[in-house]
Amino acid sequence: MPPTLPPTGRIEAEPDAIDVRWLATALLLIDMQRDFLEPGGFGETLGNDVSRLQTAVAPCAAMLAAARAVGLTIIHTREGHLPDLSDAPPAKVARGAPQLRIGDPGPMGRILIRGEAGHDIVPELYPAAGEIVIDKPGKGAFYATPLGTVLAQRGIDTLLVGGVTTEVCVNTTVREANDRGFRCIVLADCCASYFPQFHDAGLQMIKAQGGIFGWVSSSFAALAALAPARPTGA
Ligand code: C5J
């Protein structure tokens, strides 16, 4: 980490501003995958307008650039399953009436299967060498993954969270993280949903009751807190 990074910072957030130790803080970007954001993937097979998720890409890219510039721990997650579907609960595969089910061949390869083009992260947010990528079979990033161990090994206590979708994988992961003692600061503009009302409600649920699951902030507030540490132009 560059020596310019001050040990602590304060991020404006709701329900109140929060002090962070940067060395104990990670940027966690959840499931910014082609399968959710691009036509022909899992999200669209469920009948969703995937263009709604585009709003999160530029704010996530800004956070990623800033985190890289100051050497913050960066973690990406990807929802998906093994090619033999042995980690996909039948109840998940069979649910609903999608045009294509998990594992079926689609225009970006088999739907929500690890190693397929659709499973990969969108080019704008592609992980750089050395960044942690967690493959997860569930909606929560802690279930059946090494995420908890990875965070403990690095002494992380606070997560700056972005990703899709706000009410599904972001909310599930934040709840899991909260129960494990992590402080989650959800960056509202770095998250998106196919349903604007669920995005809003998902954020409300996190910050209500004095921050029952965590804090809600924005990329602007996080970038402002990081500004003293960032090299000019980063
Ligand atoms: C969904 C996710 N929505 N990443 N996954 O199925 O939110």
CATH code of residue 89: 3.40.50.850
Neighbours of 139 (CB within 10 A): 19
- Give the residue numbers spanning the domain of 64: 9-37+52-98+121-229
Identify whether 136 is a catalytic site residue: yes
174 inside domain = yes
Is residue 135 in a domain?
Answer: yes
Per residue of the chain (234 residues), give pLDDT as tens: 554 677 999 999 999 999 999 999 999 999 999 999 999 999 999 999 999 999 999 999 999 999 999 999 999 999 999 999 999 999 999 998 888 999 999 999 999 999 999 999 999 999 999 999 999 999 999 999 999 999 999 999 999 999 999 999 999 999 999 999 999 999 999 999 999 999 999 999 999 999 999 999 999 999 999 987 766 555
Q: How far is the CA of 80 from the centre of ligand 1 (A)?
A: 10
Atom index in ligand 1 nearest the CA of residue 79 equals 4
- Measured in angstroms, how far is the CA atom of residue 33 from the centroid of ligand 1? 10
Residue 80 lies in a domain: yes
With 0-12 CB in 10 A as exposed, 13-18 as middle and 19+ as buried, what is 48? middle
In a domain, 112, yes or no: no
Residue 66 lies in a domain: yes
Q: How many CB atoms lie within 10 A of CB 15?
A: 15
